[in-house]
Structures are given as C-alpha cells and as structure tokens.
Amino acid sequence: MKNTSITRRVMLAAAVAASALMTAGAAAAEKVKVAAIYTLPVEQQWISRIHKALNTAADRGDIDYAFSENVANTDYERVMREYAEQGAQLIVGEVFGLERAARKVAKDYPDTAFLMGSSFGPVAPNFSVFDNWIHEPSYLTGMVAGAATESNVIGMVGGYAIPEVNRLMHAFMDGARSVNPDVKFIVNFIDSWYDPPKAKESAFAMMDAGADVMYAERFGVSDAAVERGVKAVGNVIDTSGDYPGTIVASALWHMEATIDKAIENVAGGSFEAADYGQYSFMAYGGGSLVLDETLVAPETVAAVKAKEAEILDGLFRVNVNDDRPVSDN
C-alpha cells in the first residue's frame, strides 16, 4: 500500500509538472507576433511613443516584438512584405507619404493585421489607422503659453503642415487665445521631421521678431529657448528634465491604449479595419498634460486644471482644425 501511495504521488507530481509545461508552452505560443517599421530613429519623439508602448507589451509577455528603424520610403513596401512573409500577425508603422504602396501590401496579405499612422481612413478587411490625437492637452498647453507671454507674441515651429500637426497647432492657438485675446503667432514649418539645427534657426528668427514663448513641435526649438532665456512648450514627449526652467508645459502622447487594443483584437481574432484615433484622447489615457507649477502662475494652474476636468467630463470639446496654420499679420 505504501509503495502504491508513493507511486500515485509521483505520477500526480509528474502530471502537474507536465501540465505546467504545456500551459507555459501554450502561453508562449499565444504571444502575438508584432513587427514595426519606422522611417526615423526610435529616439524621434513621435516614433518613440509607439516603440515604448510595444516594448511595454513585450515586457508583459503579450507579444514578440521586432522592428526596423530608419527605413527609407523607397524601401518601406519591401520591408512590409518581408515582415508579412515572416509571419508577423500585426504590423505597425507610419505611412505618411506612401499611403498607396502600404495599402497595396495590406491588400496582398489579408490575413495580416496592419495598424498604421495615416492621414486617411481604414480599409477593410485589415488596414487600420491611428494618429496622435493630442489636441486636447495641446489646448491646455496653449492656455499656459497665452498666460505666460509678456510680449503677446508666440513662436511656433512645426515639421510638416499635415493634418496631424496642424490640428495640434490650432488647438494650442485656440487655448492661448482663450486666456489672452491679444496674443499673436508666428508660424513656420521646416519641412523635416528631424532637423534640430534648422528648427533652432527658425526659432531664433521668431525670437528676434518678439516671441517670448515658443511652441516646440520639433527638436531644436527648446535649445534655442534655453540660449535666449525664453519659455517653451513641449509636444508628444516630456523634455522638461532636459530643459529645466524652460519647458512650462507639454502635451504628451501615450500610445499604450492604442497598441493594447490592437493586440487584444489580434489575439482574440477580432481585428478588423478601424480608426483607432480615439484611443489617443485623454478619456482613454492616450493624451495628458504635464506642467511645471514652479514656472506657472497659480491662477493659471487652477484655470488649466478646471478646463482639463471639463474635457475629461465631456463638458468641453476642443475644436479640430486640420487646415494649415498661418502667422498673424
């Protein structure tokens, strides 16, 4: 009887161990295979937010993540096809400037899910789109800038005048005007996503024209602000640690809500063509405001937080304007 009892315990332990191994194996097999394609380095602010969200999902064990950075537009279609051929279940990237090519690839691989930053809409069955819809916190940073300027001139340096950039600039301008009707704007686009020296040069020209607060949509602007001793407003990422005493507020983009929803849908077999833009809204945690209360007047902080609460409660809607912003006369 004793030997039989021992044998049963050994068999039970072996069965439990085998079950655990099978469960671990199944969990590993259930990881979603994700590939991302970026046209710039992952350090670039817009791309860094996507990369961060995907790394977070990988660290949780939800996905196997591979990526390619600095991919030229002329190579983008080839890289998309390579990842699809390698079995990627979800391909993430940005297709500004190569919409037709990317959508053609998606059509050729209907069983692969595509989630792409795009100026246009989704296409059934598998091409979904997203964007950094952080117009709400951009409005709030505008309120901070409008209250901070003493010259009533704000400089704004952008990359390209595309809807994704335009709407954030307009929201910022609307926020500034809401607290300071006399404020004027100098607007310039450098026609590059990453050219800090050019952005810095443009910022200096605006400061020479009287701007004492800068909207830093591109890298390089905050460096100019530091050199001239003026304040700046950040975009997409929080760079206040790199520019202490200069960045008064920033509109942040959090890509986690978008990425997590796409992964969930792929894993559950329910992914379909859709616009994921809403997951960048503040209500979903896709956008947020950060401000340095040591640099902002208490009454401005109170006004901004009150407006933020109205946005989150659905009592205030920030206007969306995709037109190219222009300088005031």
Determine the average pLDDT of the residues in 193-213.
95
User: According to the model, what pLDDT value does residue 176 have?
Assistant: 98
For 261-282, how does the pLDDT look when each residue is reduced to its tens digit (9 = 90+)?
999 999 999 999 999 999 999 9
Q: How confident is the model at residue 309 (pLDDT cuts 50, 70, 90)?
A: very high
* Tokens standing for residue 53: 């969200």
Average predicted confidence (pLDDT) for the chain: 91
User: According to the model, what pLDDT value does residue 26 have?
Assistant: 42
Q: How confident is the model at residue 76 (pLDDT cuts 50, 70, 90)?
A: very high
User: According to the model, what pLDDT value does residue 29 have?
Assistant: 54
pTM of the predicted structure, to 2 decimals: 0.85
Report for 14-23, 189-198, 246-255: range of highest mean pLDDT:
246-255
User: According to the model, what pLDDT value does residue 65 have?
Assistant: 98
Give the CA distances from residue 132 to residues 56, 237, 240, in Å, rounded to whole numbers and listed in that order: 18, 12, 20
* Tokens standing for residue 82: 């390579």
pLDDT exceeds cutoff 90 at 298: yes
The b-or-e profile of 120-141 (16+ CB within 10 A means b, else e) is eebeeebbbbbbbbbbbbbbbb
pLDDT exceeds cutoff 60 at 2: no
Q: How confident is the model at residue 42 (pLDDT cuts 50, 70, 90)?
A: very high
* Amino acid residing at 298: P
Assign residue 61 a region (left: φ > 0; alpha: ψ between -120 and 50; beta: otherwise): left
pLDDT exceeds cutoff 80 at 27: no
Determine the average pLDDT of the residues in 223-244.
95
Please name which of 146, 289, 303, 173 lies closest in space to residue 231, comparing C-alpha atoms: 146
pLDDT exceeds cutoff 90 at 82: yes
User: According to the model, what pLDDT value does residue 237 have?
Assistant: 93
Determine the average pLDDT of the residues in 208-215.
98
Please name which of 127, 91, 93 lies closest in space to residue 110, comparing C-alpha atoms: 127
For 140-167, how does the pLDDT look when each residue is reduced to its tens digit (9 = 90+)?
999 999 999 999 999 999 999 988 899 9
CA trace torsion 66, 71, 74, 78 (10° rounding): -10
pLDDT exceeds cutoff 80 at 314: yes
**At what angle are helices 298-312 and 135-148 packed, to 10 degrees?**
160
* Tokens standing for residue 130: 């997203």
Q: How confident is the model at residue 13 (pLDDT cuts 50, 70, 90)?
A: very low
**Please, are residues 186 and 206 in contact by the beta-carbon 8 Å criterion?**
yes
Q: How confident is the model at residue 88 (pLDDT cuts 50, 70, 90)?
A: very high
Sheet containing strand 213-216, strands side by side? 184-189, 153-158, 213-216, 231-236, 247-253, 287-291
User: According to the model, what pLDDT value does residue 20 have?
Assistant: 45
Neighbours of 321 (CB within 10 A): 16
